[in-house]
Amino acid sequence: MTQTPGKFVSSYLLYLLAASSEAASHQFHARVRELGLRVPEWRVLACLYDQDGLMITQLARYSLMEQSRMTRIVDQMEKRGLVVRKSDEGDGRRVRVHLTEAGQKLSSDVVEEAREHERTLLSALQEVDAERIKPSLERLLDSLNSWNSAKQ
Amino acid sequence: MTQTPGKFVSSYLLYLLAASSEAASHQFHARVRELGLRVPEWRVLACLYDQDGLMITQLARYSLMEQSRMTRIVDQMEKRGLVVRKSDEGDGRRVRVHLTEAGQKLSSDVVEEAREHERTLLSALQEVDAERIKPSLERLLDSLNSWNSAKQ
DNA sequence: TTAAAAAATATGAAATTTCATATATAATGA
DNA sequence: TCATTATATATGAAATTTCATATTTTTTAA
């Protein structure tokens, strides 16, 4: 293992997960920045691509970040014309975030690039069995989430 | 899948990796903060636990962060008496970071907690085959790293 | 040997992120 | 109903992070 110096870190589950995530994302995140987006903004676009009109809180959870940070990211994306806020009829506390036309175009484009990058990545990962890695991670994530919920 | 709204994100490899890492680390990182450490500081302690006297640059790479950020994290840890800088004899550019006695004690303690947390976590992950997850991730990480190097 | 390039670290300034809390609305329960 | 609690979002201020670049030392190559 060329990545870490000693015995503990290089085989520590939390390190392996963080480092794998970082290594897998590195190139694509650079591409995202080339496209003039920051990673959190790309995450918002991806969430809204899947389901338009999500609440700030949901966007924050799905994008793995804090609510107040998401509020400011949505501020910036709104100023830039990628999304608009609409208040939820029926619950005045909620703010629904919608893609603008420009936001839709950009999110589709970047999602397409993400899919292509993912294909490339998976085809490069023959050793780990590309077909199994995603189902494995899905099960891992489910288990982790239920374990975490149980602990709350 | 309860985590994400739509079809793209919830099965996107980079999301699965980031979310798994986040979900796996969440509880332990909260514990790290209880112990008065920030996550990057804990990473430094873990690296130096494995190999004392690493350079700033190495610590940054192993801890998955930028060099200038690591410089400032080491500043703080030094002020706090957890590490000391020593200049490398033989290469005056290099700064070697060493654990103090307090730093050694703390790093051993937290590494021990990390090991215990990892055992708990792995034993909770029966569904994904605890014995295979780490070797799989090690292979995944190796593949990702060599793919990334090839791309540079 | 010496100029140029590379490597390691540090730092100023701008931007982002965090933390605590404010504000507004909705839900709950006596 | 009305007070209390919970939920959703926003915001000020402090802290951290990023980005570009300065500084110092070493390596390279002519």
Tokens encoding A10: 């290089």
> Which pLDDT band, with edges at 50, 70 and 90, does B1 fall under?
very low
Q: Is the dihedral of CA B44, B32, A16, A21 positive or negative?
A: negative
What is the pLDDT averaged over residues B83-87? 97
Each residue's pLDDT tens digit, B5-63: 568 999 999 998 999 999 999 999 999 999 999 999 999 999 999 999 999 999 999 99
- State the pLDDT at residue B45: 98
Confidence of residue B136 (pLDDT cuts 50, 70, 90): confident
Nearest Cα to Cα of residue B137 among A95, A43, A124, A125: A125
Domain range list for chain A: 9-151
Confidence of residue B137 (pLDDT cuts 50, 70, 90): confident
Q: Which residue has the higher pLDDT, B87 or A131?
A: B87
What does the alpha-carbon distance between residue A134 and residue B12 come to, in Å, rounded to a whole number? Answer: 8
Report domain A9-151's class: mainly alpha
CB contact under 8 A, A50 and B6: yes
From residue B84, give the alpha-carbon distance in Å to each of A103, B47, B74, B95: 49, 14, 8, 10
Of all residues in chain A, the one with the smallest CA distance to B131 is A13
Confidence (pLDDT) at A31: 95
> Which residues lie across from A84 on neighbouring strands?
A98
**Cβ–Cβ below 8 Å for B21 and A25:** no
**B95 half-sphere exposure, CB direction, 13 A CA radius:** 14
Q: Compute the distance between CA of residue B85 and CA of residue B110 in angstroms, rounded to an integer.
A: 22
Angstrom distance, B124 CA to D12 C1': 42
What is the per-residue pLDDT for B152? Answer: 55
Residues 46-105 in B contacting A (C-alpha not used; CB under 8 Å): 46-47, 49-51, 54, 58, 61-62, 64
Q: Tally Cβ neighbours within 10 Å of residue A46.
A: 22
> Cβ atoms within 10 A of the Cβ of A105, count?
12
Spans of chain A, pLDDT less than 50: 1-2
Chain A residue with minimum CA distance to B44: A9
| Cβ-defined contact of B141 to A23 (cutoff 8 Å) | yes
Instruction: List the single protein residue with the shortest CA to C1' distance from D24.
Output: B93
Q: Mean pLDDT of all residues in chain B?
A: 89
Residue B113 pLDDT greater than 80, yes or no:
yes
Residue A64: count of CB within 10 angstroms of its CB: 16
- Give the pLDDT of residue A137: 78
What's the pLDDT score for residue B109? 97
Per-residue model confidence (pLDDT) at position B6: 61
Q: How far apart are CA B130 and CA B81, in angstroms?
A: 38
Beta bridge partners of A32: none
pLDDT in tens, B91-110: 999 999 999 999 999 999 99
The predicted pLDDT at position A72 comes to: 98
Task: Compute the count of residue pairs across chains A and B with CB atoms less than 8 Å apart.
Answer: 198
Nearest to B144 among A20, A49, A118 (CB): A20
